[in-house]
Amino acid sequence: MKENPKHIRISEYNYPLPDERIAKFPLPVRDQSKLLIYRHGEVSEDVFTSLPEYLPAGSLMIFNNTKVIQARLHFRKETGALIEVFCLEPIQPNDYVLNFQQTEHAAWLCMVGNLKKWKDGPLCREMTVKGFPITLTATRGECRGTSHWIDFRWDNPEVTFADILEVFGELPIPPYLNRDTKESDKETYQTVYSKIKGSVAAPTAGLHFTPRVLDALTEKGIDLEELTLHVGAGTFKPVKSEEIEGHEMHTEYISVSRSIIKKLIDHDACAIAVGTTSVRTLESLYHIGVTLANNPEATEEQLHVKQWQPYETECDVRPVVALQKILGYLDRHGMEALHTSTQIIIAPGYDYKIVKAMVTNFHQPQSTLLLLVSAFVKGNWHTIYDYALGHDFRFLSYGDSSLLIP
């Protein structure tokens, strides 16, 4: 049985990050960010537009095409108190697409800001959407951990919940930027290829890509494909426990088309992942395939990847075989895409199955994303971060990028 990372001390994944090294805004031209290249232990640097030069022709590159939703809604009480309702994930209906299409009622799991000022009764807000005057109400239901069930209702069937968020929602930029959302963030905090609404945080490694970089990758003979993982607010959740065993990973929803599974099989289950969200999705696919290898009749709920599953199950199934099991599952159920969820934690001790290289930004100290990077570079993350800190790299969501090839 492989090493279990539950007793890793998060304090060993700390480094000094001065506030001035956190990029508060993106560069004027996305693809002019710096690119740190880590190859087989050696570190160098370049500019992001040079990325295609470092990748082998014929490889498969996977992007996360999720789109950040304007998930923060503000209500003012008659007392003057401002209440923020931050939509985290849909509950009723619990499918993102269906929920966004609702025309009278939608329920979400939400974080509530200034909760103590919202004693009882619904919150109301008058608004005009698509030329229609409507009243939006928010009613608080049961508490679930640090979040609440919130029922939204509005009085015009011409207006969808997506329309309401589009007009009155605010884009949730990361809390560590310590600033208000600007109009420019609506464009700069989305990848140029974002399509599927559902994230409350951007898959930030993708923010560096421009049409010219994507064209250059295609010209190099690199196969570009997209999957979807909706990034939850839990991505910013700090690890509070001394050992990571005490940290509960958030659930994130994934959607992977049949054609991508086939493409991965054609590439011998090897991929270059753009961002940690693509990494988490691709590696989760392997463990879903292992579940199906052990239980071909597994239900959709049983395909959910639990936090510690990779460390507690014998994983002697070859990656290509695991992917073939998923393809068989889709065929048996007449499905064009796999829709499921993952809580996977990737930490030192994890054995990567599909991801052979990754493009990623520089992550917060003591974060689960730093654990994921450390697992990928066999514990050598200090080399990468010391170089970045010593060579004027910009950190976090709007910061610079790295290409990691272990």
Report the pLDDT averaged over residues 177-196. 95
Report the pLDDT averaged over residues 51-62. 98
Report the pLDDT averaged over residues 188-214. 96
Give pLDDT, residue 307.
96
> Quick check: 176 pLDDT over 90?
no
Residue 231 contacts residue 254 (beta carbons within 8 Å): no
> Quick check: 1 pLDDT over 60?
no
Query: What's the rounded Cα separation, in Å, for the pair 354 and 345?
Result: 16
> Quick check: 2 pLDDT over 90?
no
What is the arrangement of strands in the sheet containing 34-39, beginning at the earlier edge strand? 42-47, 34-39, 401-405, 355-361, 271-274, 60-64, 223-230, 252-257, 337-342
Which range of 122-131, 247-256, 353-362 scores highest in mean pLDDT? It is 353-362
Report the pLDDT averaged over residues 237-258. 91
Reduce the secondary structure of 114-163 to three states and give it as a string.
Answer: CHHHCCCCCEEEEEEECCEEEEEEEEEEEEECCEEEEEEEECCCCCCHHH
Q: What is the mean pLDDT of the chain?
A: 95
Query: What's the rounded Cα separation, in Å, for the pair 253 and 89?
Result: 9
Report the pLDDT averaged over residues 81-96. 93
Report the pLDDT averaged over residues 211-232. 96
Cis before 90? omega within 30? no
Report the pLDDT averaged over residues 177-194. 94
Model's pTM, two decimal places? 0.93
Q: Each residue of 249-276: pLDDT tens digit?
A: 988 999 999 999 999 999 999 999 999 9
Query: What's the rounded Cα separation, in Å, for the pair 325 and 297?
Result: 11
Pairing assessment for the beta strands 337-342 and 60-64 based on DSSP bridges: unpaired
